Chain A
Amino acid sequence: MMPVDKMFVDPMLQVFRDMAAEMKKQKHSGEAFDKMIAALDRMETLAVECNDLNEFNAKLIQEGLQAKFSMHYGEVMSQAAEKSSKAGGYDDNTLMQNTLRAYEDAITRIEEAEKVQFENITDDVRKIKPSIRIVPVLRKIIEFGKSGVSYPEFLTKMIVEGWEKAMEGVIVVRDGIEFEIEFSKDTGMIPPYIEMHEERLKAFDEMAKKSAFGLPDSLLFSLKSQEIEHKYKPIIAKWEAIEQRWMKILELLLDWLDAYCSFAPYDGRWRTPGCSEAQVQKNIRRTKGCNPGILKQRERILFESFGMKWDDIFKHETFKFRHSSLIFPYSEERFELIKKTYPYCQPKGKPVVVEEPPKELIAEAEKLHSEKKVVNPNLKIAAENAKKIYDKYNGEGAYEKNFGK
């Protein structure tokens, strides 16, 4: 038996440990409190008894321990509130003060979290950060609450101004979708994925327009969002499956041609770490002698699965899109060379014989390799775009900090 690593357990259980510790400090007791502590103890025991994170997770869900803890926590809190109410501790003024204090604490929490996560965040970025956008709403609510209004006037305004919905998080949802669209467009995500988020954005705006208070009902929007994602799921799956298969075909062709080049013995595709000269030569012979047969099988699978032959690849929307995108992996010259190689990459006869590709194609491949023209130069732009957008939303330098250079 090996306990689950503390690195995984602590983030999962710490919040429950803190809640329990706070309750103990406040000297709560009773049946619900005991049951809450028992649920936490069971979680701690499982963390020691389980062999890995998956088993731990499964057991927590199976036994419903997090839910049990939360349920009993709620019971303890509700009993305490009832006790206090009966003792005359709760009135409109107290409720107002507690509500406003909760919002003030929320502002502090958001701002502290932002400081920790994004040290170099600029004011411009601050303005568009989704979580920061909620702060002005919170300030407005607090200001109104302190303006001498009664508690019911305050609650009425929360509904009428749509602040209640803002607190449900609806206000940040639209920003999140906009970010997703911008990021996807600039980093080469496939069109159905972008269309899906555009449709979500359109649905959000339509629902907001129809709503009495200018923001969609969070439940109805979340279901609409699910409906749209559900519609696109098979479309995206098919798109990705087709692309993955023709990409494999191109890769088999370019590896085959490159195996005949003078740089092949020094290339990582054939010179794997620690392998001998003989092994390198064997690896090259394998690619030369097997890729044509493997290519033929991969073409058969593409045809059986999607009715596409070699020529159909280049007319297909998945290819046209990827070819024109910033993240098509190959330079235009190399792609043309791959196409020219295709007619020669064929297994022939029995026993199988593979003929060499024409000398001029090998020479062309060697030239592209020596001139470093094998990859799409736009890949750099795509990487820059990803970095730029990430930094725009998360603060200057955040990309390098989180993902390295």
Chain B
Amino acid sequence: MTEERTPPANDDELDADDVRNDPVPIHPDDPQPGEDDASTSPEPPTEGADQ
């Protein structure tokens, strides 16, 4: 019985579904993002009100 405590370099079971989006480039004339309320609030902001 083989025991592995670190992931092997080549293994079909690893990373098989880990496809992530890429960063979008920012241009100098892009609008600045809104204030990041989440960084100062214990509860992250929720967009829109519950209905």
The answer on A and B forming one complex is no
By a beta-carbon cutoff of 8 Å, the part of chain A in contact with chain B is none
